[in-house]
């Protein structure tokens, strides 16, 4: 991983846990794998502080440990970079649960993410207290309701069992492993799977239409109901199963199901595959092909934004043709040869394209050599991922600086909101309260919040690109 990724991980940990944990993570990253003694020496913390810090980081899975040596007495700590980089996605996880299961489920997941891992009873006690202090009708919130919501989250795979780290940051002992208490944590992979399925449906809708998206969403739904998630492709669903599911979900789509399936399976995308023809056929979703097409879509969008529509056209042609000469690019793109040459070499110098030399004679003469442009997709994916991580770090830094500059106004606004809420609960109308912020302060605060909102929107867009590029990169590593 690059320095930019390390900076982002340290910044994320600093925002969540503070500078002590951030310094610990930075020290471990610099040394890749390190023991407790080295951590204490290089951070300058006492053993108790280092132990507590490691315990928190292990509990949230940002640091993992390995027992080494013949008797496995020595423990080495490493930073789980992939788990740490899932932190920006946490608000998305919370929003998914809120949309599916309501506000109470949102509080349960939010609290579990905040704690890293927790016993069920203590988690629900905290959630019950939070909900009873925030809702008007306290009778609607009770332990039975929260327990049923937790069971729903468990059945959906959003929470999973885990082991309890010891209080001194050391690995769980045999005694703690055999204890009766069960700890729970958020299963981030289940959320990534849900987000992937949503991306597939939206991608198909954009390429075809709403009806095609509905058919694909039914196949994905059947995949979850039959065999669960698979890494390379979904489980196959028969034509009869798809029809039955469509009758329950979108009855108006049933007459068009066969036509949509034929269109999707005949498409060059290769996302929907026909497995066999028996009984109307069986169909599955090829996740590998989706990862490829979705990554291409995002890379092309980046090229368009950075280099303009003509470069985007040239890049798309090179990607589609795999290998192509400069003269052919100009002809297919309908761009003057001189302009096409300039744009091609701009993309080449920025490492978006590479050149493959094919020599027609043994003397390697340039006059008798073909120069073929192609897209180094795997290298480009890694390069753009690092750029995206650096962009996220820059956006976070800008947001933090902007809020720090206006911290007095933000605190004052929060106090005003708290006073208004307290007065409302006592039956006092908000209009009767004295305004704590002047007009100029309101204007300055509004400007600050607009900047923060734009930075947040930019972060969401970059996270979508990170998701697409990461899925493709992981899939290539599997192959």
Torsion sign, CA atoms 217, 218, 221, 226: negative
Q: What is the pLDDT along the chain (479 residues), one digit of tens a residue?
A: 577 788 899 999 998 888 999 999 999 998 878 888 888 989 888 889 999 999 999 989 899 888 776 655 678 899 998 888 899 999 999 999 999 998 899 999 999 999 988 899 999 999 988 888 776 666 678 888 899 999 999 998 899 988 765 555 555 544 444 444 688 999 998 999 899 999 999 999 999 989 899 999 999 888 864 444 546 888 888 888 889 888 888 888 888 888 999 999 998 888 998 888 787 788 889 999 999 999 999 999 999 999 999 999 999 999 998 888 888 988 898 888 899 899 999 999 999 999 888 877 676 666 667 888 899 998 999 999 999 999 999 998 898 888 888 888 888 888 877 777 776 666 666 665 566 777 888 888 888 889 989 998 988 889 989 988 888 887 766 54
3-state secondary structure 36-48: HHHHHHHHCCCHH
Quick one: 157 exposed, middle or buried, by C-beta within 10 A (0-12, 13-18, 19+)?
middle
Query: What pLDDT is attached to residue 173?
Result: 45
CA-only gyration radius of the chain, Å: 27
Segment holding 348, helix H or strand E = helix 337-349
Give pLDDT, residue 231: 64
Angle 58-64-70 (CA atoms, 0-180°, nearest 5)? 125
Question: What is d(CA 166, CA 59) in angstroms, rounded to the nearest whole number?
Answer: 9
Distances (CA, A) of 127 to 151, 164, 341: 15, 20, 62
pTM of the model: 0.84
What are 39-46's contacts with CB under 8 Å, separation 24+? 39/77, 45/20
pLDDT reported for residue 227: 41
Work out whether strand 354-359 and strand 369-374 pair parallel, antiparallel, or are unpaired. Answer: antiparallel
CA distance 290 to 88: 23
According to the model, what pLDDT value does residue 394 have?
92
Distance CA 173, CA 386 (A): 38
Under the phi-then-psi rule, with left for phi > 0, alpha for psi from -120 to 50, and beta for the rest, what region is 74? Answer: beta
What is the C-alpha to C-alpha distance for residues 430 and 180, in angstroms, rounded to an integer? 51
């Amino acid at each position: 991983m690059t320095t930019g990724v390390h900076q982002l991980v340290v910044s994320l940990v600093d925002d969540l846990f503070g500078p002590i944990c951030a310094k610990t993570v930075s020290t471990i990253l610099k040394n890749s794998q390190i023991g407790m003694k080295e951590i204490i020496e290089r951070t300058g913390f006492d053993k108790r502080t280092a132990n507590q810090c490691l315990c928190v980081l292990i509990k949230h899975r940002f640091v993992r440990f390995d027992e080494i040596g013949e008797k496995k007495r020595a423990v080495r700590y490493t930073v789980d970079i992939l788990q740490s980089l899932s932190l920006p996605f946490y608000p998305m996880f919370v929003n998914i649960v809120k949309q599916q299961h309501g506000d109470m489920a949102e509080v349960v997941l939010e609290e579990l993410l905040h704690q890293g891992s927790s016993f069920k009873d203590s988690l629900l006690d905290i959630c019950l207290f939070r909900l009873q202090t925030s809702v008007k009708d306290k009778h609607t919130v009770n332990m039975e309701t929260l327990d049923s919501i937790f069971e729903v989250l468990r059945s959906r795979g959003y929470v999973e069992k885990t082991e309890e780290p010891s209080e001194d940051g050391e690995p769980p002992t045999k005694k703690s492993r055999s204890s009766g208490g069960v700890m729970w944590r958020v299963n981030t992979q289940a959320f990534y799977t849900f987000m992937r399925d949503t991306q597939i449906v939206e991608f198909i809708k954009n390429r075809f239409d709403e009806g095609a998206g509905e058919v694909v969403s039914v196949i994905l739904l059947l995949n979850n109901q039959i065999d669960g998630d698979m890494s390379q492709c979904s489980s196959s669903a028969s034509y009869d199963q798809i029809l039955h599911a469509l009758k329950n979900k979108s009855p108006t789509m049933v007459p068009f199901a066969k036509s949509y399936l034929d269109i999707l399976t005949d498409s060059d995308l290769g996302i929907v595959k026909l497995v066999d023809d028996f009984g109307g056929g069986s169909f599955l979703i090829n996740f590998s092909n989706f990862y490829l097409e979705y990554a291409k879509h995002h890379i092309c969008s980046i090229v368009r934004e950075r280099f303009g529509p003509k470069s985007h056209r040239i890049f798309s042609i090179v990607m589609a043709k795999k290998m192509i000469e400069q003269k052919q690019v100009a002809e297919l793109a309908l761009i003057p040869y001189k302009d096409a040459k300039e744009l091609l070499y701009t993309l080449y110098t920025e490492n978006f394209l590479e050149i493959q030399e094919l020599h027609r004679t043994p003397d390697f003469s340039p006059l008798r050599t073909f120069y073929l442009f192609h897209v180094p997709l795997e290298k480009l994916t890694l390069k753009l991922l690092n750029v995206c991580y650096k962009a996220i770090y820059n956006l976070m830094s800008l947001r933090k600086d902007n809020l720090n500059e206006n911290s007095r106004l933000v605190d004052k606004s929060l106090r005003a909101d708290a006073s208004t809420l307290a007065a409302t609960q006592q039956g006092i109308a908000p209009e009767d309260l004295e305004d704590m912020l002047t007009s100029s302060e309101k204007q300055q605060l509004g400007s600050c919040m607009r900047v923060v909102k734009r930075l947040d929107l930019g972060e969401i867009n970059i996270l979508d690109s990170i998701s697409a590029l990461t899925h493709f990169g992981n899939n290539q590593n599997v192959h």
